[in-house]
């Protein structure tokens, strides 16, 4: 599938014009390592974009095709619908520098013979907030309640400091839960040195100008991650896209207060999250629970904060979700119980990079007090769960769960480093041939999802900070 070129006239760049970018490629680099694609990008917004689009052209093409195919099946909306959303209420909300970066990606893709445009890249960057917040809003307008349970359950995470960590400094860990057909493409480590703002390093999908699952470190000591708020209901098309606000925090925030201000200003409710934020300059961590109508902040220099897709603020729960805090059988509540056991009790005073990896790979079901592969464990495997996951409307054995993991510490982040694991953090491979034979109802995904291999944990270091 090759998507339409520049239907709305937003990007028209000739090959001759694009060639002007080629000198910028000397600032960039690309390396494949243990299932990841590491890219170093540097320069102006358009230069960073061009480097990104040119170096990751194949990966972007493959990922967009997978996403468009998945969305058409699961949301009953084709790619032209999402492009129209980008045109109608996303593109004009973006700052000039991020328009330039997206246009740069398009220019790089064009030079590699791929005819995408800025609407494609905008819709793609906004896939989470469009598919799982805007579309459910439309569904609820047509048939009240039909859009419930559509907000995704993405991720198991923690951030800790003070007496909860081995050295008293900040430790942060995260694993990404998503559909395997999408999550297999969440395999880019982007090391970005922009002309203005912070040097940042994050995991992301190819073609994203933000992390998307949100694991970010910066050279000024700020770091953040998140987990989504399950069964959230709400979206405001007049607000600023979540993907821009997340990128601005990474690039321009210098403190927890800065991060909160950027996340909340112009908030559209898209991709409603519990944001876990740390500042190594002050050794303080915080949780920003951000709905659409409400938000709340918790912060401390001696705490462990966990996230597994459960909301905490009573006002947000009551006014903006359909979440049942009393149902212990749901994935968010079962993982909350296990995360509290591990992070807040069993590993208190022991959290570091090594134990952080153990947390994100954990397979203990605190509901049944047994080792398991299901929706209730931190390293989730819904593809092996006979009950599926009702709170996200996922049928039994749906191919979704933990697709990768990351861990960092204050000392690692000071050197612009973090550990990353592609594939299930526990080390188990997803083998498509075996899975589809057992569950032919999901064979439609085999066009773009074959296997998802689990690679070893790998330490990544930003190029500008690498030792000679």
Per residue in 357-367, pLDDT (tens digit) is: 999 999 999 99
Q: Which domain holds residue 81?
A: 45-142
Torsion, Cα of 328, 334, 337, 341 (10° steps): 150
Residue 359, in any domain of the structure: yes
Q: Cβ distance 50 to 107 under 8 Å? A: yes
Q: Model's pTM, two decimal places?
A: 0.94
Residue 23 has a pLDDT of: 85
Residue 27 lies in a domain: no
Per the prediction, the chain carries an average pLDDT of 94
Same structural domain, 109 and 185: no
Q: Which of 110, 142, 174 is the last residue of a domain?
A: 142
Q: Check if the beta carbon of residue 49 is closer than 8 Å to that of residue 207.
A: no
The single-letter DSSP state of residue 86 is: I
Residues 49 and 189 placed together within one structural domain of the fold: no
Whether residues 259 and 170 share a domain: the answer is yes
Question: Which contacts (CB < 8 Å, 24+ apart) does range 136-141 have?
Answer: 136/233, 136/235, 137/233, 137/234, 137/235, 140/233
Are 282 and 385 members of one domain? Answer: yes
pLDDT band at residue 15 under the 50/70/90 scheme: very low
Where does a domain end: 114, 142, 170? 142
* Total number of domains in the chain: 2
The answer to whether residues 124 and 186 belong to one domain is no
426 in a structural domain: yes
Check residue 7 and give its pLDDT: 33
- Please check whether residue 18 lies inside any domain of the structure: no
Instruction: Tell me the pLDDT tens digit for each residue of 308-328.
Output: 999 999 999 999 999 999 999
How many Cα atoms are found within 13 Å in the side-chain-facing hemisphere of 328? 6
Contacts of 416 (CB under 8 A, 6+ apart): 191, 199, 201, 217, 219, 461, 462, 464, 465
Give me the pLDDT at residue 19, please. Answer: 60
What does residue 113 show for φ and ψ, rounded to 5 degrees? 85, 15
148 in a structural domain: no
Same domain, 109 and 221: no
Count of H-run helices and E-run strands, the chain? 16, 19
What order do you get walking across the sheet with 200-204 strand by strand? Answer: 29-33, 36-43, 188-194, 200-204, 215-218, 222-228, 273-279, 284-290, 295-300
The residue among 142, 177, 199 that closes a domain is: 142
305 backbone dihedrals φ, ψ, rounded to 5° = -115, 130
225 and 190 in a common domain: yes
Within-domain flag for 37: no
* Residue 166 and residue 287 share a domain: yes
d(CA 73, CA 65): 13
**Contact present, 130 and 35 (Cβ < 8 Å):** no
Whether 17 is covered by a domain: the verdict is no
Euclidean distance between CA atoms 251 and 336, whole angstroms: 31
Other Cβ atoms within 10 Å of 362 Cβ, number? 22
Specify the pLDDT at position 20: 66
Domain CATH number, residue 425 = 3.60.60.20
Asked if residue 1 has pLDDT above 80, the reply is no
Q: CA torsion sign, 133 to 271 to 120 to 424?
A: negative
Query: In the prediction, which pLDDT does 465 show?
Result: 55
Is residue 3, in this structure, part of any structural domain at all?
Answer: no
């Amino acid at each position: 599938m090759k998507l339409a070129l520049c239907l709305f006239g937003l990007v028209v760049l000739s090959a001759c014009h694009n060639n002007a970018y080629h000198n910028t490629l000397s600032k960039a680099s690309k390396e494949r390592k243990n299932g990841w694609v590491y890219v170093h990008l540097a320069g102006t917004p358009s230069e960073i974009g061009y480097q990104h689009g040119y170096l990751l052209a194949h990966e972007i093409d493959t990922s967009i095709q997978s996403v468009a195919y998945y969305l058409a099946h699961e949301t009953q909306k084709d790619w032209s619908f999402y492009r129209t959303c980008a045109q109608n209420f996303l593109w004009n909300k973006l700052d000039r520098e991020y328009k330039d970066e997206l246009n740069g990606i398009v220019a790089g893709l064009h030079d590699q013979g791929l005819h995408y445009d800025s609407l494609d890249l905008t819709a793609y960057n906004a896939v989470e907030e469009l598919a799982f917040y805007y579309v459910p809003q439309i569904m609820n307008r047509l048939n009240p309640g039909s859009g419930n349970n559509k907000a995704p359950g993405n991720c198991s995470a923690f951030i800790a400091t003070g007496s909860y960590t081995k050295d008293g400094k900040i430790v942060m860990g995260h694993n990404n839960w998503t559909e395997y057909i999408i999550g297999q493409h969440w395999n880019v480590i982007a090391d970005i040195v922009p002309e203005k703002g912070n040097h940042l390093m994050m995991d992301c999908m190819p073609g994203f100008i933000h992390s998307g699952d949100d694991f970010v470190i910066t050279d000024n000591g700020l770091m953040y991650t998140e987990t989504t708020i399950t069964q959230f209901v709400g979206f405001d098309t007049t607000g600023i896209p979540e993907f821009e606000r997340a990128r601005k925090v990474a690039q321009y925030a210098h403190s927890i207060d800065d991060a909160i201000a950027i996340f909340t200003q112009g908030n559209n409710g898209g991709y409603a999250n519990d944001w876990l934020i740390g500042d190594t300059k002050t050794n303080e961590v915080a949780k920003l629970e951000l709905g659409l109508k409400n938000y709340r902040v918790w912060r401390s220099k001696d705490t462990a904060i966990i996230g597994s897709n459960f909301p905490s603020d009573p006002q947000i729960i009551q006014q903006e979700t359909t979440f049942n805090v009393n149902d212990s059988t749901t994935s968010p509540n079962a993982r909350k119980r296990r995360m509290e056991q591990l992070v807040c009790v069993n590993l208190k005073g022991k959290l570091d990079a090594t134990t952080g990896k153990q947390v994100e790979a954990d397979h203990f079901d605190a509901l049944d007090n047994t080792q398991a592969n299901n929706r209730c464990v931190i390293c989730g495997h819904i593809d092996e769960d006979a009950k599926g996951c009702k709170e996200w409307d996922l049928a039994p054995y749906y191919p979704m769960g933990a697709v990768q993991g990351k861990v960092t510490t204050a000392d690692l982040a000071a050197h612009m480093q973090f550990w990353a694991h592609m594939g299930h953090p526990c080390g188990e491979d997803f083998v498509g041939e075996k899975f589809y034979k057992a569950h032919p109802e999901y064979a439609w995904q085999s066009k773009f999802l074959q296997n998802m291999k689990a690679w070893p944990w790998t330490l990544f270091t930003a190029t500008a900070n690498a030792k000679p």
